[in-house]
Structure 1
Amino acid sequence: MQRKLEDRSFLLLLLVVTFGFGLLILPFFYAIFWAAMLAILFAPLHRWLIRRFPGRDNISALLTLLASLLIVVIPLAVMMTMLAKEGARVYQQVSSGEIQLQALVDKARATMPVIQELAERFDIDLGNVKQMLSQAALTGSKFFATQAFNFGQEYLQFTVSFVLMLYLTFFFLRDGGSLIQLLIRALPLGDTREMHLFQKFAEVSRATVKGNLVVAIVQGTLGGLIFWALGIKGALLWGVVMVVLSLLPAVGSALVWAPAAAYLFFSGDVFKGVVLVLFGFFVIGLVDNVLRPVLVGRDTKMPDYLVLLSTLGGLSLFGLNGFVLGPVLTALFLAFWQIFMEEFNNNEEKSISDEEDASGG
C-alpha cells in the first residue's frame, strides 16, 4: 500500500514538473522546432562529415551548421527582407497615387466594351469596383509595410530566437543520436513503437521541408521571370510572394499569376495575358504537379489530397510554420493508427479466429 502511494505521488509530481517545464520553454517552441528541422534536414551531411573526420564531432556539427546557414537560413532571410521591402515600396506608390488601379477599370471599359455590358446586366457599379481594387491594393501593400515595421519593433526577440535556434541546431546535430536514445528510454510506449514514430517524424519533416521549399523556390523564380519578361511591374515582389504562396499545394502560385493574367486581359494586352496563362498552366503548374508528388507525397507516403488538407490546416493553426507542422502531425496521426490496427485489431481478430477454431474442434 505504501509503495503504491509513493509511486502515484511520484508520477503526479512528474506530470506537474513536466508540465511546468513545458510552459517554461513554450515561448521558444518555434526556435526549438526549427532547430530540430535543420538537424533532421542536414543529418545525412553530418553523418558523411563524421565519416570523413572520425572523432571530431564538434567540427562535423559546426561545418553542418554553416552549410545549413548558407543553403537555407540566409537565403530565406534575404527573401523575406526583399518581400517586406518591396511591399513597403508598393504601399508608398499606391498611397502617393503613383500607382492608380482606378485606371485599370477605365482602360478595361474602353478596350473591352463587353465588360460594361456585363456590368450593366448584373447591376454592377464599376465605380465601386475601382474603389474596391484600390482599397485591396492599399490593404495588401500596407500589410507588408506593417510586417516590416513590426519586424523592426520585435528585432530583439527575433535575434534571441534566431541565435537560440542556431545554438540548439549545433547540439541537435552533435548529440542527436544520444538524445533520441534517451527519449526512447524515457517514453513508456515500447521501444519498437517509439523507433517507428521517430523515423516517421524524421521522414515526413525532411520530405516536407525539402520538397515544399524546392517547389516554392522553383515556382517563384519562374513566376518572377515571366512577370519580368512580360514587363509587369514589381516582378521581384510578385516572385517572392509566389514563393511564399507556393507552399500551398495545387493552388498557391495561381493566386498570383491568375489575377495578373486577368489584369492583362482587362488592360487590352490579350497576347501577354494568353502567354501568362499558358506559362502558368503548363510550366509553373507542371512544377507543382511533377515535383511535389515526387519530393513530398512519395516520401511522406500520404496521398496528395491529405498533403493539401494537412498543409492548409497547419497554416491556419500555426501560421507559416504550419506548412511543416500540419503534415508532420498528420503523419504521426496515421502512424499511431497504423500501430493500433496492426497490434490491437489483429490480436482481437486472432482471438476471435482462435475461439471459432476451438468451438469448431
Structure 2
Amino acid sequence: MSRRFEDRMFLALIAGATLLFLWLIATFFDAILWAVVAAIIFAPLQRALMRWRPDHPNSMAVLSLLTLIAVVIIPLMILSSFLLQEAALLYQGIQTGKIDFTQYFDQIRHALPRWARLQLNRVGWGNLDGVREQLGSLLSSSFQTLAAHALSLGQRAASFLLSLTVMLYLSYFMMRDGPRLSSMVIGAVPLHPARRVALAEKFAAVVRATIKGNMVVAVVQGALGGAIFWALGIGGALLWGVLMAFLSLIPAVGTGLVWVPVAIYLFASGAVVKGGILVFCGFFVIGLVDNFLRPILVGRDTRMPDYMVLISTLGGLELFGMSGLIVGPVIAAFFLSVWEIFITDRARLSAPAVREEEVKP
C-alpha cells in the first residue's frame, strides 16, 4: 500500500470526523457563534487584564466574562423586557381602537394643499379608504405575529437559557485560551506559511472591525433615534429605536426608513416644528453618526464597501436568521481577504516578468 494512498485516506478521515463533529454541534450553532463574537470583542480587555496579572489567566477570564454579562447580557435582557411590554401596549392600542390609522390618514389628507389632493385624485389615490383598511389590517396581523413569537419564546425559555449558558461557558474558555486556540487553527490550515499568516491577519482585522463597527454604530444610532422620538413625544419610542438600530445595518438609508415617514406625518398633521426638529436630527445627528463613528471604529483600510455590507447582511439574515447579522459580514470578510491575498500574490509574481519585458531592446 503506497504512502500517497495512506495520506489520502487520512485526509478523508479528517474530513469525515470534522463533518461529523460539525453535525453534532449544529444545535448550538448560535451559541458558539456568539461566544466567538464575544471573545473577539472582549479580546483587548482580556489582554489588558493579562498584562496586569499574567499569572492568573482563570481569574482574568472570569473578570472579562463578568464584564460581558454586566455590559451586554443584563442590559439586553432589560431592554427586551421593556420592548415586549411596549409592543404589547401598542398591539392593545390597535385592538381597542386607541390607535386609529384611519384618523392618521385623514389628518394627512386634509393637511395636504389643494394641488396635492388634486394630483392624488388624478392618479386614483384620492380615495384612501381601501388603502387605510389594508394598512391597518397589515399592521394588526404583524403585531399578532409578533405576539405569537413572543409567546413561543416564552414557551422555549428553557432552551434559550441553555443556549445562553453554553454561550457564556464557551466565552470563558475562548477568552482564556484565545491566543492558543487561534494559533492552533492557523497552524492547521494547509497553506503556505506566508499566505496563512497574511490570511489570518487580514481576516481577523476585517472581522473585528466589521463586527465592532456594525454593532456599535447600530446601538448608537438606535439609542439616539429612540431618545429623539421620546423627546418629541412620539409614541413607541423604544420600538422605533430598536427598529432603527436593526435598519442601521443597511448603509445610507437604514434609519431613514423610520424617521423620514414619521417626519412626513408630522409635517402633514401640522406639527411643523416637531417635523423640522426630527428632519434636522435625522440628517445631522443620527445620519452623521455613521460617517464619523464608523471610520474611527473600523478604519479606512479594513472597512468593507457599503454594497458588500448590504448584500452580505441581507443574505445572512435570509440564510441564518438573526445570526446572519454576524455570519453574513464574516463570510464577506473571508471572501474579500482571500481575493485580496490572491491579487497581491499575482501582482508580486508578475512584476519580475513585466520588468524583464521592459528592459528587452
TM-score of the two chains, using structure 1 as the length reference: 0.90
Establish whether residue 25 from structure 1 lines up as the match of residue 25 from structure 2: yes
- What is residue 120 of structure 1 aligned with on the other side? 121
Question: Shift of residue 311 of structure 1?
Answer: 3.1
**Amino acid across the alignment from 1:71:** V
**Amino acid across the alignment from 1:4:** R
Q: 3-state DSSP class of the match of 1:145? A: helix
**Amino acid across the alignment from 2:123:** F
Question: Shift of residue 241 of structure 1?
Answer: 2.1
> Could you say if the C-alpha distance between residues 299 and 340 of structure 1 is closer, same or farther in structure 2, counting changes exceeding 3 Å?
closer
Question: Shift of residue 345 of structure 1?
Answer: 5.1
Q: Percent identity?
A: 48
- What is residue 180 of structure 1 aligned with on the other side? 182
Deviations 1:102-150 (A, max 9, x none): 1112222333353542331111231112112312321333343233122
Establish whether residue 224 from structure 1 lines up as the match of residue 226 from structure 2: yes
Note the 1:1-361 alignment, pairs <5 A: 1-112=1-112, 114=114, 115-124=116-125, 125-298=127-300, 300-344=302-346, 346-348=348-350, 350=352, 356=357
Distance 1:206 1:191 in 2: 22
Deviations 1:8-64 (A, max 9, x none): 222222211211111111221221111111111111111111121121110010101
**Amino acid across the alignment from 2:58:** N
Deviations 1:224-282 (A, max 9, x none): 22212222112222122222222323222111111111221232222322221122112
Distance 2:302 2:144 in 1: 37
Distance 2:331 2:137 in 1: 38
Does structure 2 retain, via aligned residues, the 8 Å contact 1:50–1:57? yes
Greater alpha carbon shift after TM alignment, 220-229 vs 194-203: 194-203
Question: Shift of residue 94 of structure 1?
Answer: 0.6
Question: Shift of residue 181 of structure 1?
Answer: 2.0
Q: Please list every run of at least 4 consecutive aligned residues from structure 1 whose deviation after the TM superposition is greater than 4 angstroms.
A: 351-354
Unmatched runs of 5 consecutive residues or more in structure 2: none
Distance 2:266 2:328 in 1: 36
> Could you say if the C-alpha distance between residues 245 and 350 of structure 1 is closer, same or farther in structure 2, counting changes exceeding 3 Å?
same
> Could you say if the C-alpha distance between residues 216 and 48 of structure 1 is closer, same or farther in structure 2, counting changes exceeding 3 Å?
same
**Amino acid across the alignment from 1:302:** M
Unmatched runs of 5 consecutive residues or more in structure 1: none
**Amino acid across the alignment from 1:315:** L
**Amino acid across the alignment from 1:156:** A
Does structure 2 retain, via aligned residues, the 8 Å contact 1:105–1:266? no
**Amino acid across the alignment from 2:120:** A
> Could you say if the C-alpha distance between residues 188 and 131 of structure 1 is closer, same or farther in structure 2, counting changes exceeding 3 Å?
same
Does structure 2 retain, via aligned residues, the 8 Å contact 1:62–1:170? yes
Deviations 1:44-85 (A, max 9, x none): 111111121121110010101111111222223332333333
Greater alpha carbon shift after TM alignment, 34-43 vs 263-272: 263-272
Question: Shift of residue 283 of structure 1?
Answer: 1.5
> Could you say if the C-alpha distance between residues 323 and 216 of structure 1 is closer, same or farther in structure 2, counting changes exceeding 3 Å?
same
Distance 2:124 2:205 in 1: 54
Question: Shift of residue 101 of structure 1?
Answer: 0.8
Question: Shift of residue 352 of structure 1?
Answer: 6.8
Question: Shift of residue 213 of structure 1?
Answer: 2.3
CA RMSD of aligned residues (A): 2.4
Does structure 2 retain, via aligned residues, the 8 Å contact 1:200–1:335? yes
Does structure 2 retain, via aligned residues, the 8 Å contact 1:111–1:268? yes
Distance 2:282 2:193 in 1: 48
Q: 3-state DSSP class of the match of 2:300? A: helix
Does structure 2 retain, via aligned residues, the 8 Å contact 1:300–1:331? no
Distance 1:80 1:297 in 2: 31
